[in-house]
């Protein structure tokens, strides 16, 4: 688990967790990273086709969600860590930051003014999350980290990637670590894959929800927001 703290505690406040892709930003970091890698010849068309195939298999519920995300990062195997960092920097500055929803910035600011600790909880990679959190003045990140050995990526994650049910595990662990109640916490997410983590907090907020999440949110009486770019 990757957690980078800028505060030792919540200073008596609550915690507001935000997803990144399609919640804070219009862009999807993994897709943009793959596009950049393809342009630079870092990602082969064969690997891209395989990633699209595995994504389709997941949508058809033919494979476990954790297995699918593990498979989709295997394209970085044998890539030098420095090359991935360069790709992440380029994508964050040129695509991700310009696509931040104005409402997201306002919502983060609102929570900060209420003495909340604001945390980026995302399946996105550490370098992207670090840069995004810094720009948005967020307090911490909990995200996905890839294994590096002798400066080269192995194509494996460190622990589990921060996706699906794992997000709920990370959120509850984070709240426990900082002696904060999940029932007082907020989580902002956009996808049905966020159902478990949304269900784990007292204040779930669905932003630009996909069809399945919107249906679940209406059934549960959750707050639904539409943010525009």
Q: Which of the four pLDDT bands, split at 50, 70 and 90, describes residue 98?
A: very high
- Give the mean pLDDT of the chain: 86
Most distant CA atoms of the chain, gap in Å: 51
**Cβ–Cβ < 8 Å for 196, 168:** yes
Q: In this prediction, what percent of the chain has a pLDDT beyond 70?
A: 81
Predicted confidence at residue 90, as pLDDT, reads 94
Alpha-carbon radius of gyration of the chain? 17
Residue 100 DSSP class: B
Model pLDDT for residues 103-139, shown as the tens digit of each residue: 999 999 999 999 999 999 999 999 999 999 999 999 9
Is pLDDT larger for residue 161 or for residue 204? 204
Show the tokens assigned to 33: 């990273």
Predicted confidence at residue 79, as pLDDT, reads 85
Q: What torsion do the CA atoms of 159, 163, 168, 172 make, to the nearest 10 degrees?
A: 40
Predicted confidence at residue 3, as pLDDT, reads 41
Rounded distance between C-alpha atoms, residue 34 and residue 87, angstroms = 9
Predicted confidence at residue 22, as pLDDT, reads 94
Q: Which of 84-88, 133-137, 187-191, 199-203 has the lowest mean pLDDT?
A: 84-88
Domain 2-225 has CATH 1.10.600.10: no
Predicted confidence at residue 182, as pLDDT, reads 98
Q: In this prediction, what percent of the chain has a pLDDT beyond 90?
A: 64
Q: Which of the four pLDDT bands, split at 50, 70 and 90, describes residue 44?
A: low
3-class secondary structure, 222: coil
Q: 């894959």: which residue's tokens?
A: 193
Residues ≥6 apart with Cβ < 8 Å to 192: 210, 212, 213, 216
Predicted confidence at residue 57, as pLDDT, reads 47
Phi-psi region of 159 (alpha: psi -120 to 50; beta: other; left: phi over 0): left
**Is the pLDDT score of 2 beyond 60?**
no
Rounded distance between C-alpha atoms, residue 198 and residue 81, angstroms = 33
């Amino acid at each position: 688990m990757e957690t980078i703290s800028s505060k030792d505690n919540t200073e008596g406040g609550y915690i507001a967790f935000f997803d990144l892709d399609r919640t804070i930003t219009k862009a999807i970091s993994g897709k943009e990273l793959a596009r950049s890698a393809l342009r630079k010849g870092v990602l082969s068309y064969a690997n891209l086709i395989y990633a699209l195939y595995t994504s389709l298999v997941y949508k058809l519920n033919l494979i476990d969600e954790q297995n699918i995300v593990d498979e989709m990062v295997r394209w970085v195997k044998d890539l030098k860590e420095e090359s991935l960092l360069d790709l992440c920097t380029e994508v964050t500055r040129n695509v991700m930051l310009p696509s931040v929803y104005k409402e997201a910035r306002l919502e983060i600011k609102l929570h900060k003014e209420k003495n909340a600790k604001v945390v980026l909880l995302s399946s996105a990679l550490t370098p992207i999350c670090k840069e995004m959190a810094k720009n948005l003045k967020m307090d911490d990140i909990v995200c996905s980290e890839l294994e590096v050995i002798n400066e080269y990526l192995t194509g494996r994650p460190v622990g589990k990637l921060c996706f699906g049910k794992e997000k709920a595990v990370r959120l509850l662990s984070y709240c426990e670590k900082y002696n904060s109640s999940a029932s007082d916490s907020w989580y902002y997410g956009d996808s049905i894959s966020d159902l478990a983590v949304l269900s784990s907090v007292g204040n779930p907020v669905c932003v630009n929800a996909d069809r399945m999440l919107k249906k679940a949110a209406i059934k549960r009486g959750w707050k639904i927001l539409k943010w525009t770019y």
